[in-house]
Amino acid sequence: MSPIYSQVAAGVAVIFKTRGNDVQESDEFRRDANLNDSISILESALTDASFRKLLAIPNRRVHKFVADAIQLCKPMKVFICNDSTMDTEYIRRTAIARGEETPLANPHHTVHFDGYFDQARDKERTVYLVPKGESLGKQLTQHDRQEGLETVRKRLEGSMENKKMVVRFFSLGPLDSPFSIPAVQITDSFYVAHSEDLLYRPGYDYFRRMSEDKEIFWMLHSSGKLIHSVSTDWKKRGVMIDYKENTVYSVNTQYAGNTIGLKKLALRLAIRKADREGWLAEHMFLMAVHGPHERKTYFTGAYPSGCGKTSTSMVRGNTIVGDDLAYLRVLDGKVRAVNVERGIFGIIRSVTAKDDPVIWDVLHSNQPAIFSNVLITEDTEPRWLDDGREDPEQGANHSGGWFKGKVDRYGEEIPYAHKNARYTVGLEGLTNLDGCLDDPRGVEVGGIIYGGRDSDTWVPVQQALDWTQGIITMGASLESETTAATLGPSGVRKFNPFSNLDFLSIPLEDYIRNNLDFVNDSEHKPCIFAVNYFLRNEDGDFITDKSDKQVWLKWMELRVHGEVEAITAPTGFLPLFDDLKGLFDTYLDKDYTKKEYDAQFTIRIPEYLSKLDRIEKIYKESVEDPPVELYRELSAQRERLIAVPTELGDYILPDAFL
């Protein structure tokens, strides 16, 4: 054993505890592993400098994970990143040198292109590795664990032969907090490693001082074979979640949603951990809505990808903590939440100077940013769809050289930028950043919002009658029309409970149970709300404005503090016209009319009943043993809707419930 190693390992007792049994086996395995083997592998594969950096982390499981990855992927070289400016700058420069990123006119900006068929999360090829005899229910894609491990190991075998492996350490959530989860990322993509620098809290020092028994998430990614810096074996791409070992493998893909281990890959592991420990790992923004007298009330919001989550968290006059992932825990009798991340990987389509001034300014500042799958003009400026400027005629995009009218191999016209083109930036440059981003105890949550892309049923905003009704008829009943954030057709209505279905790693019934029970030890339950920015009239036109979300947020803030009355409708509490009128006037300088209000807040009984039919059918067909509250709340909602006097008709104006 190397002298450095014996020094750090001496006296470190490995006692690894979890409440469930997910990771015990793996730990057993790593504890008993032949440590000399790991160290010999590391000594021969690493430079002295890298070896020293790795061994400064006194954790044998870390050493073993890196040694195993080296043996499997056979990298040409290994780089251990210690988060120093020198190391992170090296990562950025190497991403450019290798052609994974290209510098833009602004010296702080780069662009990255994913392969033409690798432009979004691949749900079909994201699978859970499930040991024989276990099942995660019918909603999740599962594969036999042994077979899956063999397949992914085969794909990873020698995948880094002519490449350099990067090893990075992060903390999910603020450092040294009840929320923090340490995570190790191994990747051969300097774009992935660079993106993580902007998006996550550096954790090398944290790994050096944390106890050896701390639960860790492990991520191993290889882009596989590259031609022109693009993964070519995308037909054999896959994301495999081995929850038994808290490990996620990603191979032959580059799109961030499939490769950035700390984002949606770690979320899947976090959902299991949260379920074991009685907290929530959510696909939610976290923001402070600013109320009267400088009061800040924190809200989380779960909306499926591409449904206004980031733009809500950035609404003018309020402050943002995070736009995508939140952990929620009850601490000292209060529901508190943190942003898992410290940056944004946001959809850039439709970002305009008028509608998104904060993001627009950041993207035109000296703050580091990575653009992905946008168009690059001859002047090396990035352009994206609906950016409020004249359409470009030519440039370079994810299809290579691009000119107006270019078609793909199926004869489909290629837009100048991809609909799911993105920007990656740190939060620190945002003028609307909330001061509590790094508070280790998080912020107290006043309200939880569920929102989907729903053209015909939900009103723009309503409050749940109580926690259970909100969790069941809003969270567990969330549906949304699909968007370009996942592969496959857009605009199809899909069941997406809690906007978290894509990331669930436990049976849906268990996840709902955990949501219902989560507040049991809390003195106050956050208020639950449902919003819908996509409601249309019979002609198919949207009947709310993009900017109206400002008013819905301010109304919710007042409701949390009981400062406005509401109408009790069969589906929830609706705003009163006069309150909204005042808020529209104050915050948007807009003359809100009764006609608009009536159209927006009409309760559409046939559509609500059809929704209940759909939701009940899904649960009956695919969820074995849902909590008793589920059918009880759905039936109660149905009864309330049916009880509305028939002479009022099918479409009921809100005032009818006064």
Give the residue numbers marked as catalytic.
307
Contacts 24+ apart (CB under 8 A), 91-100: 91/166, 91/190, 91/193, 91/194, 91/197, 92/190, 92/194, 92/197, 92/368, 94/164, 94/190, 95/190, 95/191, 95/193, 95/194, 98/190, 98/229, 99/228, 99/229, 100/189, 100/190, 100/191, 100/229
13 token code pair: 């007792």
Q: Tokens 């470190």 map to which residue?
A: 12
Strands (E), 65-139: 77-80, 102-103, 109-112, 126-130
Q: Collapsing DSSP states into helix, strand and coil, what is residue 373?
A: coil
- Residue 450 CA to residue 498 CA, distance in Å, equals 7
User: How long, in residues, is the chain?
Assistant: 658
| Nearest to ligand SPV of 59, 373 (CB atom) | 373
| Nearest to ligand SPV of 490, 568 (CB atom) | 490
Q: In this chain, which stretch among 54-62, 302-310, 560-568, 647-655 interacts with Mn ion, using CB under 5 A?
A: 302-310
- What is the nearest approach in angstroms of ligand SPV to the Cβ of residue 120? 7
- Residue 619 CA to residue 616 CA, distance in Å, equals 5
Determine, following the binding rule CB under 6 A, whether residue 240 of this chain makes contact with ligand SPV. Answer: no
Determine, following the binding rule CB under 6 A, whether residue 485 of this chain makes contact with ligand SPV. Answer: yes
Determine, following the binding rule CB under 5 A, whether residue 324 of this chain makes contact with Mn ion. Answer: yes
Determine, following the binding rule CB under 6 A, whether residue 257 of this chain makes contact with ligand SPV. Answer: yes
Find the binding residues for Mn ion in span 27-56 (CB under 5 A): none
Q: Which does 329 bind (CB under 5 to 8 A by kind): Mn ion, ligand SPV, none?
A: none
Q: Collapsing DSSP states into helix, strand and coil, what is residue 199?
A: helix
Determine, following the binding rule CB under 6 A, whether residue 282 of this chain makes contact with ligand SPV. Answer: no
H-only helix segments in 302-383: 309-313, 357-363
- Residue 655 CA to residue 136 CA, distance in Å, equals 45
Determine, following the binding rule CB under 5 A, whether residue 434 of this chain makes contact with Mn ion. Answer: no
Amino acid at 211: S
| Nearest to ligand SPV of 41, 181 (CB atom) | 181
- What is the nearest approach in angstroms of ligand SPV to the Cβ of residue 303? 9
Q: Which does 257 bind (CB under 5 to 8 A by kind): Mn ion, ligand SPV, none?
A: ligand SPV
| Nearest to ligand SPV of 128, 345 (CB atom) | 345
Please count the residues of this chain forming the interface with ligand SPV, following the rule CB under 6 A: 9
Would you give the binding string for ligand SPV spanning residues 104-133, x where CB under 6 A is met? -----------------x------------
Position with the least CB separation from ligand SPV: 257
Q: Which does 485 bind (CB under 5 to 8 A by kind): ligand SPV, Mn ion, none?
A: ligand SPV
- What is the nearest approach in angstroms of Mn ion to the Cβ of residue 495? 17
- What is the nearest approach in angstroms of Mn ion to the Cβ of residue 264? 7
Find the binding residues for ligand SPV in span 319-378 (CB under 6 A): 324, 345
| Nearest to ligand SPV of 305, 522 (CB atom) | 305
- Residue 185 CA to residue 169 CA, distance in Å, equals 6
Contacts of 519 (CB under 8 A, 6+ apart): 330, 335, 467, 525, 526
- What is the nearest approach in angstroms of ligand SPV to the Cβ of residue 521? 30
Among 78, 256, 430, 474, binds ligand SPV (CB under 6 A): 256
Q: In this chain, which stretch among 21-29, 256-264, 287-295, 535-543 interacts with ligand SPV, using CB under 6 A?
A: 256-264
- What is the nearest approach in angstroms of ligand SPV to the Cβ of residue 622? 22
| Nearest to ligand SPV of 73, 501 (CB atom) | 501
- What is the nearest approach in angstroms of ligand SPV to the Cβ of residue 251? 17
| Nearest to ligand SPV of 206, 345 (CB atom) | 345
The closest alpha carbon to 638, from 600, 618, 602, 610, belongs to 610
| Nearest to ligand SPV of 452, 626 (CB atom) | 452
| Nearest to Mn ion of 402, 423 (CB atom) | 423
Determine, following the binding rule CB under 6 A, whether residue 261 of this chain makes contact with ligand SPV. Answer: no
- Residue 416 CA to residue 343 CA, distance in Å, equals 26
- What is the nearest approach in angstroms of ligand SPV to the Cβ of residue 485? 4
Q: Collapsing DSSP states into helix, strand and coil, what is residue 562?
A: coil
Q: Collapsing DSSP states into helix, strand and coil, what is residue 304?
A: coil
| Nearest to ligand SPV of 459, 501 (CB atom) | 501
Determine, following the binding rule CB under 6 A, whether residue 202 of this chain makes contact with ligand SPV. Answer: no
- Crossing angle for the helix pair 60-73 and 145-156, nearest 10 degrees? 60
Strands (E), 53-180: 77-80, 102-103, 109-112, 126-130, 142-144, 164-172
The CA R_g of the chain, rounded to the nearest whole Å, is 25
Q: Which does 296 bind (CB under 5 to 8 A by kind): Mn ion, ligand SPV, none?
A: none
Q: In this chain, which stretch among 165-173, 255-263, 311-319, 549-557 interacts with ligand SPV, using CB under 6 A?
A: 255-263
618-648 burial, b for 16+ CB within 10 Å, e for fewer?
Answer: bbeeebeebbebbeebbebbbeebeebeeee
| Nearest to ligand SPV of 60, 398 (CB atom) | 398
- What is the nearest approach in angstroms of ligand SPV to the Cβ of residue 260? 6
Q: Collapsing DSSP states into helix, strand and coil, what is residue 34?
A: coil
- The DSSP H or E segment spanning 535 is none
Q: Which does 256 bind (CB under 5 to 8 A by kind): ligand SPV, Mn ion, none?
A: ligand SPV
Q: In this chain, which stretch among 301-309, 502-510, 564-572, 582-590 interacts with Mn ion, using CB under 5 A?
A: 301-309
Among 263, 273, 513, 581, binds ligand SPV (CB under 6 A): 263
- Residue 333 CA to residue 121 CA, distance in Å, equals 37
Would you give the binding string for ligand SPV spanning residues 576-615, x where CB under 6 A is met? ----------------------------------------
Determine, following the binding rule CB under 6 A, whether residue 264 of this chain makes contact with ligand SPV. Answer: yes
- What is the nearest approach in angstroms of ligand SPV to the Cβ of residue 140? 17
Q: In this chain, which stretch among 161-169, 201-209, 241-249, 257-265 interacts with ligand SPV, using CB under 6 A?
A: 257-265
- The DSSP H or E segment spanning 334 is strand 334-339
Q: Residue 557, Cβ neighbours under 10 Å: how many?
A: 26
C-alpha distances (whole Å) from 338 to each of 274, 316, 471 are 14, 21, 20
- Residue 635 CA to residue 626 CA, distance in Å, equals 14
Do 415 and 348 contact (CB within 8 A), yes or no? Answer: no
- Crossing angle for the helix pair 48-55 and 60-73, nearest 10 degrees? 140
- What is the nearest approach in angstroms of ligand SPV to the Cβ of residue 347? 8
Q: Which residues bind ligand SPV (CB under 6 A)?
A: 121, 256-257, 263-264, 305, 324, 345, 485
Give the binding site for Mn ion (CB under 5 A).
305, 324
